[in-house]
Structure 1
Amino acid sequence: MSELHFDLLKRLSEIGGIPGREERVRELVEAEVKDLVDELRTDALGNLITVKRGSAPDGERKRIMLSSHMDEIGFIVKYIDDKGFVRVQNAGGFDTKNLYARNVIVWARGGDLPGILNPGGRPVHIASPDERKKIPEIKDLVVDLGLPADEVKKRVRIGDPVTLVQEFREVGDLLCGKDMDDRASVFVQIEVLRALQGVNHPHDVVAVFSTQEEVGLRGATVAAYSVEPDIGVALDVTLAVDTPGVPAEEATTRLSDGVAIKVYDTSMISTRWLVDEFIELAEQSGIRYQLEILMGGGTDGGAIQRSRGGVPTVTLSLPTRYIHSVVEAVHKADVRAEIDLLVAYLSR
């Protein structure tokens, strides 16, 4: 296979798109895939649904639905006080200890506004010992836009998105930035469509770039209902807890050990015969893989599996360090392994 387009992953990582406001991501993805697929549409929830038709005769072709979500965890404007400071509501789950002194963008009328997100209260120089130890709650966070209150209230509305800002970097063999969850999987899905050009694949590949996963698998739920897939393959990230301070048995997955084939999470139990098919194919093809049991969290696979009368479904995961922070990190070798395994599966 050709060299991967990590410049695309950089653009996907750095662009903003909270649940329900994925339009900037969708525009970027659509521009990348429009020449790689036979059909393309956007549904009422903003899912981008693409179809690459297979070569098998009518009546023999199955529909294999891939799904990776475009949304990222972020915030919406909740309140603007008399000094012009903005309070926020989270859209998706944060570990708030990762939210000190962050650069953000408020999607305001007339254009984006740069802001500073920080907890209110005393700075460390004058804080009490107890205040220094406190982990902030979402209600403690404020956005400083550096503008007079009347200007803020003129340009910012309740419900405006607030997205974090972080530069994408390559750190050794790691690809690091915000929104590897799940833009790394969006990237994988695009690269799979690219790799399938000129490759015979018997079944229709319905690649869905879904919305609102971080707030309850909402986009994939309606997409799976309309697509009516025969097989579902969700693409997402999973915990790589292979850093100091955590026992080996709690690692979930480890970076560079290969693509993770999910067995269980709190949204789904992967269909066992599909798990076995992917294991067998990985071993036959010499593709590194690991098995995943995730004790907290779910993926689009849970929505696909429970659609209509039920769909045989498996999730392929990218092991990721520092999930739900702005320095989420995946390993280049695991990205390659996931692309190789998917292409091998789809072209069988």
Structure 2
Amino acid sequence: MVSLKEFNYSELERWVRKQGWKKFRAKQLSKWIYTKKVRSFDEMTDLSKDIRNFLNKNSKLNVLSLASYEKSSEDGSIKFLWKLEDGHTIESVFIPERGHNTLCVSTQVGCAVGCKFCFTTTDGLIRNLTTAEIIDQYIQSQIFVGLDRRISNVVYMGMGEPLANYENVKKSVQILTDDRMLGLSNRKITISSSGIIHQIKKMYEDSTFPQVRLAISLNAADQGTREKIMPISETNSIHDLMETLNRLPIKTGYRIMLEYVLIKGINDRPEDAHNLAKLIGRHKKRYKVNIIPFNPFPGSEFKRPDKDTVEKFHKILWQYNIGAFVRWSKGADISAACGQLRKKEIDRLVKIV
């Protein structure tokens, strides 16, 4: 059975015509799926009974089911654990913020990149998510929190490397930004990558990929340190990565986010901050730096630096007139590290067996 959330709008139109229906049926379906966010075809009351019966027999709406969730008593963020049709599970996180709501979505089950500070990589890569599985995270999260609390921002920062699932991520962005579908602003969508250079270039050269915001998980200012914590740097060197980023055709106002997970004794020294400033160099207006104190998880060899160290690192960047801010992780009381809720569920099932 085909999932209708797998189609961008032009594909949905082609599928509708293939069934022998009028073209306007695509608009009707899109309204029910993306504006009304209905849970069943039977709710699509302006479609004939024959069409609804056909849809029930030959297609599906939902590809995720809610396995569990945890809500933070500190900041109201909600971590969802979704069960996929093949039994695997993924996470997404709803983050209420001042003036808007954000959803962090996953793009893979597990991850192959192997960042040493990331909990998700402990199981390796199992598979890519489909377009429908990415989009359904948004729709079902929106239904859960209530349609009156609109999720306006989406960040591809959950489980997996988005650019390693290029085609499905691209199509999901098309659906998110198409006014006939979910209609989110391109400026409100961010794709976070570990820095796969050829895929970053491909994204900016691809006219069918809506230009959204780019975040790069940098985490070090020198090649040696980055290789130590991010093995991908062995084939995507920090020099080549920055050269690529410096040359990207960025729209006005679309600064690249450099994400920097601050790890005690690894990359948190004052000289690391100075080196990061030098790495950015004369391209200050092209970047902003997101300093993220490390989120400890069971079995990790790394620790979070103290608050004074974080503030000192931040202050040094400001002295270079580099736009930087500290993002203390939300949901610290709800299995904060990405992948932890999934691991809890896997451990629970193992105990049952």
Q: Classify the TM-score, shorter chain.
A: under 0.3
- Structure with the higher fraction of residues in helix conformation: 2
Instruction: Pick 1 or 2: higher relative contact order, CA cutoff 8 A, min separation 6.
Output: 1
- Structure with the higher fraction of residues in strand conformation: 1
Q: TM-score, normalised by structure 2?
A: 0.22
